[in-house]
Amino acid sequence: MKQEYRLISSAPKPFVKWAGGKRQLLPVITNYIPQKFERYFEPFLGGGAVFFNLVSQGRDSKWFVSDLNSDLVLAYMTIRDRVKELVSSLELHSTNYTKNPSSYYYKVRESSPKVQIEKVSRLVFLNKTCFNGLYRVNSKGKFNVPLGKYANPNIVNKENLLAVSQTLQSKDISIKCQDFESALKNATSGDFVYLDPPYHPVSETANFTSYTEGNFGYQDQQRLYSKFKTLDRKGVKILLSNSKSDEIIDLFNEFSDGIVEINANRFINSVSQKRTGHTELLIKNY
């Protein structure tokens, strides 16, 4: 009897750790995702925790994902189209890093490759080895995070890169680099939109809005609110994550029935039995 072999790849997961990443909040967020939708829009994609979770559930949908960060979007496209070359380039980074982590890290940090594969492998490499694993650029658009304290960083997660690549090759998925307003132009009744913008800061010091070279300020939150309203009128289902700040609560006052407070505990301190973390908001119109 002929034996059949099926290629089973693991479910795709974010290939970079991203500021504001939603991986830990997935169990909560997925409770609020509608059972059915025609098309899915996620215009603040980041690491794509929510998108990867939904797309690997085998839902019958079309997926429109985007982000304004062009380096990040280039990484998605490169993984989709040229994953083997990317893996080879990352393997080289991994070998060199093992020989002398600190000097190699800072050498790569100072470099500014122009070739696509090298640009993307630099981004992934720095993301895996930098302090806190967060992509952050300074006002001049330079990556300025120091070396992290990882004993054995997983620089080449080949299995996941292949799973992401395979997933993104679907003709039902569109990935673009664009502002959220253009991304949502065609969303209409029956569609579902998940919005995870840079959060409005809760205090002066908690400003995590420098993902791109331009900040996402209060005017952008207002622009987002106005898009939320337009989509609501069209019959689109919308779920928005944001900080629990007075400005956001005021701005979305009209949708106050759909505001849910969620606990974003980062970890539980087992010694003091105290929870560390904060409350944030999910705002929905359904």
Ligand X SMILES: C[S@@+](CC[C@H](N)C(=O)[O-])C[C@H]1O[C@@H](n2cnc3c(N)ncnc32)[C@H](O)[C@@H]1O
- Interface with ligand X by CB under 6 A: which residues? 18, 20-22, 43-44, 46-47, 49-50, 67-69, 179-180, 196-198, 211-212, 216, 220
Least distance from ligand X to the Cβ atom of residue 48, Å: 6
Distances (CA, A) of 179 to 9, 96, 200, 261: 33, 37, 17, 27
Nearer to ligand X, 68 or 239 (CB): 68
Least distance from ligand X to the Cβ atom of residue 134, Å: 11
Least distance from ligand X to the Cβ atom of residue 49, Å: 4
C-alpha to C-alpha distance for 52 and 23, rounded to whole angstroms: 10
Nearer to ligand X, 97 or 191 (CB): 191
Least distance from ligand X to the Cβ atom of residue 136, Å: 11
Nearer to ligand X, 100 or 226 (CB): 226
Least distance from ligand X to the Cβ atom of residue 212, Å: 5
Strand 259-269 to 274-284 pairing: antiparallel
CA 265 to chain centre: 19
C-alpha to C-alpha distance for 191 and 37, rounded to whole angstroms: 5
Least distance from ligand X to the Cβ atom of residue 127, Å: 12
C-alpha to C-alpha distance for 89 and 203, rounded to whole angstroms: 41
Q: Which two tokens stand for residue 250?
A: 């005021």
CA proximity to 280, closest of 17, 23, 26, 25: 25
C-alpha to C-alpha distance for 160 and 166, rounded to whole angstroms: 10
Nearer to ligand X, 88 or 217 (CB): 217
Q: Which two tokens stand for residue 248?
A: 């956001």
Nearer to ligand X, 97 or 123 (CB): 123
Nearer to ligand X, 18 or 37 (CB): 18
Residue burial 45-63, b: 16+ Cβ < 10 Å; e: rest: bbbbbbbbbbbeeeeebeb
Nearer to ligand X, 47 or 153 (CB): 47
Give the chain's radius of gyration (CA, Å).
Answer: 20
Strand 274-284 to 39-42 pairing: unpaired
Handedness of CA 8, 174, 82, 104 (dihedral sign): negative
Least distance from ligand X to the Cβ atom of residue 132, Å: 14
